[in-house]
Structure 1
Amino acid sequence: MSPALINANPVVYEKKERPVRTRPGDAAFDEYATELIDQLEDPEHPYSLEELKVITEDAVEVDDKRSYVRVTFTPTVEHCSMATIIGLCLRVKLMRSLPSRFKVDIKVAPGTHATEDAVNKQLNDKERVAAALENPNLVDMVDECLTPSFE
């Protein structure tokens, strides 16, 4: 957790109970992708992105035939400084878990972040993502988000 929280008192919602699954065959990637990202932890708080409603089932679109996944997330506050980190966590989780045939598109929900266009551009630029993943501090933050909490 960060010492100076952007959103010190976020609203926390109940997390949906889901069975733990292994990666499916070529079918059922929509449910699998949703389950993957629901496991991510917030970079600032000891809650999952699902518990903070940063990500919801409706925000994950999977087109298995076109090998395409779009995730639209909603930061808890309009000026969230962690929006790019959250998007990077989503991208890395899906890149590591889905077959390489999938193209992943990560977006901030329209009208939910002050610098929405800049965040979206950074999250969907391969060179910027690659550069971010060369930064050991960012990789540590991403890995922390990807580590499931069993509390």
Structure 2
Amino acid sequence: MDENGSLIALFTSSFLAATLLPGGSEAVLVGVLLAYPELYWPALQVATLGNTLGGMSSYLIGRLLPDEQALSKRIGRHIHGLEWTRRHGAPILFLSWLPVIGDVLCVAAGWLRIHWLPAALFIAAGKFLRYWVIASAIN
């Protein structure tokens, strides 16, 4: 696979890994960097962009769910389990890179109607830091 194909594969795996679908993109990042060390920064940018957009797709899924009041009326009781996200707001999305819980945080942020721009910025920062640590470890 050439450099462009490698970056496309990295973007695709990064995007899908950040959605509710199972998968990981770290191995693809490592493979790209081992094959093309000169793509260090482009690979970090592509992986971060793909993973951030994937996280924002989970955020959008949360936005499409009924808001808390409508859902509470529908099921007749108060919704528990979102207090952590509600208490910390957008900064909690810095942890969106964590396996399993990261997807839940992104969906919860959308459901709680946290503003999209700070959400995207914190998601991107956390995901970039994770990829940077991985890339630095193999560089």
* TM-score normalized by the length of structure 1: 0.30
The structure whose residues are more often helix, as a share, is: 2
> Which of the two has greater strand per residue?
1
Higher radius of gyration, 1 or 2: 2
Q: Which structure ranks higher in relative contact order (CA pairs < 8 Å, sequence separation ≥ 6)?
A: 2
TM-score (norm 2): 0.32
